Amino acid sequence: MLLLKVEHDTRYYNKLLRKLTKVRRKIPIHVDIFLRKGTIFAESLDDGFSTSFLYVAYLEAKGKGLKADLLYARYVDESWLPEEVRRLSEKWMFRELSDEEIDILKKISITEHIFERWCRW
């Protein structure tokens, strides 16, 4: 998985979302874009088309003078997962989760958590 991390710029972010929406109407592409705590994150699978989209996004960010980093996903130890996710996953193996526990999991961003440990500016 290729990861792109760009400092927040509203115009750049909106343009990137519009471009992805336009591409998705024509061709399947494996890219996700999200904004967290003033940073734009984009991720793609490793197929050439999806990777190319992220690389173009990277070049455009650099061209605008934004701080941008390309990263490649790699192995992480299970200890890097949030404690709450590990605890609830172990529980889920043996019985269903409550609605409250499901809501807790829905609010956790694994990518954000991993980035905070792995990719400090």
In the chain, pLDDT over 90 holds for what percent of residues? Answer: 62
CATH code for residues 2-72: 3.30.70.600
pTM, 2 dp: 0.67
- Parse the chain into domains and list their residue ranges: 2-72, 78-118
Contacts of 27 (CB under 8 A, 6+ apart): 49
Look at residue 43 in the predicted model and tell me its pLDDT.
94
Specify the 3-state DSSP secondary structure of 43: strand
Q: Which residues of the chain have pLDDT under 70?
A: 120-121
